[in-house]
Chains A and B, each alone.
Chain A
Amino acid sequence: MTAAPETLRAPFVVEFPFTRSLGPVQSAFLTGLRERVLLGVRTETGRVLVPPVEYDPETAAELRDLVELAPTGTVTTWAWNPEPRRGQPLTTPFAWVLVRPDGADTALLHALDAPGPESVRTGMRVRIRWAAERQGAITDIACFEPYGNADAGEEGGAAAGTGARPHDGVFDQPVTGIVTPARLDYTYTPGRAQTAWLHDLAERRTVGERCPSCAKVYVPPRGACPTCGVATTERVEVGPRGTVTTFCIVNIKAKNLDIEVPYVYAHIALDGAGLALHGRIGGIPYDQVRMGLRVEPVWTEGGRYPDHYRPSGEPDADYGTYKELL
């Protein structure tokens, strides 16, 4: 028995710039933040929701009755964050807070810039610190900061609903959409079967795995036979030559891919494999590639996998030898 090969790992980043359109209430709220105006929305029962939503979370009624609120409020709950993480509002330790703005009935999630947890308490008065550069986003509120010395109970922060003034929600050049970048970092590990496959491939050996139940040889192996639902374990070297079972001609150049079009992308059944893998066909004009063409891998110096496949010079394979692999 040989020792399991060293686990492969590689950094893997998933990153999207999500582009989202805004409804009328969201547009007014985020445009308002750009203009240093805090808006809420009034429900049919008179409650003021901040941040405002387009539909009542209780009744689903359409909400359009905007109100302007003061940039001050009261902390309703908080949590001290000693180690800020990437993307969070502040880079120094801060408190996460739910803040009920004066005149509102609900609370807004944001950060509170405070020197330490001993200086934060539920009921404390805070105000918005606006970001220097604003674009119409929740991050136009840089954070909240302590305001005055008294708690809401002592100074009597404005009662719900009373500090809210009607607002038509109309601004010049309203924001109609937001772009929010999202990035998640992973360390990818391929698992047992694919680790073994990649190690062998780097040594220019193509090793599949056989299903103990149906005897099919999977290339590349993924660890399980999808037909039988059992682990594939017996390792079987296949190829290196194979047969083109089907192919297509690529006419559109892919971004960041240094291959001239047109070129042929094919399904190739390596000799001994129970299914075809895909690869590019080179060394032959694209319009001469055909089903049954016999091919062999072409490796580049230091490559961990075949760069492409080229004709092996053998006669074409009979259709009967690969029709089950189409």
Chain B
Amino acid sequence: MTAARRDVAIVAFAQTDHARRTDDLSEVEMLMPVLHDVLRQAGLRASDIGFTCSGSSDYLAGRAFSFTMALDGVGAWPPITESHVETDGAWALYEAWVKLLTGEADTALVYAYGKSSPGSVRDVLTRQLDPYYVAPLWPDSVALAALQARALIDAGDTDERALAAVAARSRRDAAANPHAQLPGARPQGDHVVAPLRTGDCPPVGDGAAAVILAAGDRARALCPRPAWITGMDHRVEAHSLGVRDLTDSPSTRLAARRAGAFDPDAARPVDTAELHAPFTSQEVVLRKALRLGADVRVNPSGGALAANPVMAAGLIRLGEAAARIHRGASDRALAHATSGPCLQQNLVAVLEGDHR
């Protein structure tokens, strides 16, 4: 075995007020206040940061190399150590976590942003699919989620009423989240692609988020109650939907096991789970894969059903879970992020606060 692993924690989290449109803001103009907020919370300046990593996709707003423009908001001079992932910022956080574990940095700034408003995100997301057999059919993101929802209903795992209850609970909880785009329960509406109704789908919108990671004593100095990352892992499944069992998520389960979510020796049980389930039906799959019981508070923030800034929504799950630990509302939380159609790729982190 290797030497004892460094302790790394999320010490600060900030996000925008997510909105349907932000026509008056460029991406960097939307992102910059969030970067300033998260640095202020940690009492750091940009020059104090050891590693910077971001997640975004140029396809969302149709702006080539937009992540280089976004760096304008960081203050990247003198040259900083920086990286970018073309996926959800949760994977940027994973890269930063590994960087801190190696000892090459003591602090990291992780951010993500997505402006879905300039384009049609249902169609944009078709471009991530198999280009030979699937993308030429332009199956949009709601259609693929609806195929998964139907499979779940056929399997007896859920029904439209249960899905509506997930939608209602999420948006009711979002009423207490000042950043949510859809605060408060609302009608389920018509079928978008049956069996999914408007209420089963995430809102389309723009937003950004940022977290700061710190190692060891640095974390303790920056945050009264750091959210220690006791484990994190991500796993991917086959890209062909017809090969997968859409009613299950073995990649989530494996990532969770490797992250220690099922550790029978854990002193404290998981009390909170922030799940990145953009569609109501996906929460059903994730609850099953993660074996979450009724004693676990799921998505107290309202989750992606209340605000789904694509590329940032997964990072926000980690941030929301950490923020609950920071303020003492959770002792051991599980955070999940997803990417790809029908929960193709999944990341799970376990976060813990020090004993009070």
Contact = CB atoms under 8 A, between A and B. Distances in A.
Interface of A: 4, 7, 9, 12, 14, 18, 20, 22, 26, 30, 49-51, 53, 57-58, 76-82, 85-89, 96-98, 100, 106-111, 117, 122, 137-139, 178, 180, 182, 184-195, 222-231
Interface of B: 23-29, 32, 35-36, 46, 59, 61-62, 69, 71-77, 118-120, 122-124, 127, 131-140, 143-144, 146-151, 154, 191, 193-196, 238-243, 246
A178 B135 CA distance: 12
A80 B76 contact: no
Given A77-B150, A187-B119, 6 more contacts: A49-B240, A109-B133, A180-B136, A184-B62, A186-B118, A226-B71
Nearest to A23: B132
A82 B146 CA distance: 12
A229 B137 contact: no
A109 B75 contact: no
B29 A223 contact: yes
B124 A184 contact: yes
Contacts, number: 187
Nearest to B247: A77
B235 to A, nearest CB: 14
B282 to A, nearest CB: 14
Given A192-B26, A229-B73, A231-B29, A109 B118 contact: no
A244 to B, nearest CB: 26
A210 B147 CA distance: 52
A79 B194 contact: yes
Contacts of A186: 61-62, 118-119
Contacts of A185: 119-120
Given A96-B147, A189-B23, A79 B195 contact: yes
Contact of B72 (A9, A190, A222): A222
Nearest to B341: A109
B74 A229 contact: yes
Contacts of B151: 76-77
Q: Which of B74, B144, B149, B150 has the most CB of A within 10 A?
A: B150
A224 B140 CA distance: 35
A221 to B, nearest CB: 10
A57 B74 CA distance: 40
B243 A229 contact: no
27 contacts: A26-B132, A76-B242, A78-B147, A79-B149, A80-B194, A85-B138, A88-B140, A107-B242, A108-B133, A109-B137, A122-B150, A137-B136, A138-B133, A138-B136, A180-B131, A186-B61, A188-B62, A191-B25, A191-B27, A192-B25, A222-B72, A223-B32, A224-B28, A224-B32, A226-B75, A226-B77, A227-B75
A76 B59 CA distance: 32
Contacts of A138: 132-134, 136-137
Given A26-B132, A80-B191, A80-B193, A225 B72 contact: yes
B26 A77 contact: no
Given A9-B23, A18-B131, A108-B242, A223 B28 contact: yes
A77 B154 CA distance: 8
A122 B154 contact: yes
B77 A49 contact: no
Contacts of A229: 32, 35, 46, 72-76
B194 A82 contact: yes
Contact of B193 (A7, A79, A223, A230): A79
B54 to A, nearest CB: 13
Shortest beta-carbon contacts, A-B, top 9: A229-B75, A191-B26, A107-B242, A79-B146, A87-B138, A57-B238, A80-B194, A186-B62, A226-B72
A81 B193 contact: yes
A230 B119 contact: no
Contacts of A139: 136-137
A49 B243 contact: yes
Given A224-B32, A229-B35, A82 B191 contact: yes
Contacts of A111: 137
Given A184-B119, A231-B29, A12 B74 contact: no
Q: Which of B36, B196, B243 is most buried by chain A, counting CB atoms within 10 A of its CB?
A: B243
B24 A192 contact: yes
A142 to B, nearest CB: 11
Given A184-B59, A185-B120, A98 B243 contact: no
